[in-house]
């Protein structure tokens, strides 16, 4: 479970065994769990919240996604390096 970035007490990460899914990232406050927030990355590098199971307040979620836009190319490279391929949901 590589942690890509820490933002204001939140961890942005992906699970190592998610090669069967299109590229996305999870956001956790505290220790990562299966019930964390999940955000898809589209081919045009826009984001779509898949779910907010982590119940991150909208204000914080928006801030995290704005910051992640600055790092999206680095994140995609990290995903590709670790997972081996990049697939998009659209």
Tell me the pLDDT band of 18, cut-offs 50, 70 and 90: confident
Give the tens place of pLDDT for each residue, 43-68.
999 999 999 999 999 999 999 999 99
Give the tens place of pLDDT for each residue, 8-17.
999 999 998 8
| pLDDT for position 84 | 86
Q: Which tokens in the block code for residue 52?
A: 């907010």
Tell me the pLDDT band of 40, cut-offs 50, 70 and 90: very high
Q: How many CB atoms lie within 10 A of CB 72?
A: 16
Tell me the pLDDT band of 82, cut-offs 50, 70 and 90: very high
What is the pairing mode between strands 3-7 and 37-41?
unpaired
């Amino acid at each position: 479970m590589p942690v890509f970035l820490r933002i204001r007490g939140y961890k942005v990460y992906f699970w190592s065994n998610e090669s069967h899914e299109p590229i996305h990232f999870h956001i956790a406050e505290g220790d990562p769990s299966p019930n964390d927030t999940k955000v898809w990355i589209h081919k045009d590098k826009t984001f779509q919240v898949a779910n907010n199971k982590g119940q991150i307040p909208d204000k914080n979620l928006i801030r995290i996604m704005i910051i992640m836009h600055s790092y999206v190319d680095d994140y995609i490279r990290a995903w590709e390096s670790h997972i081996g391929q990049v697939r998009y949901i659209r």
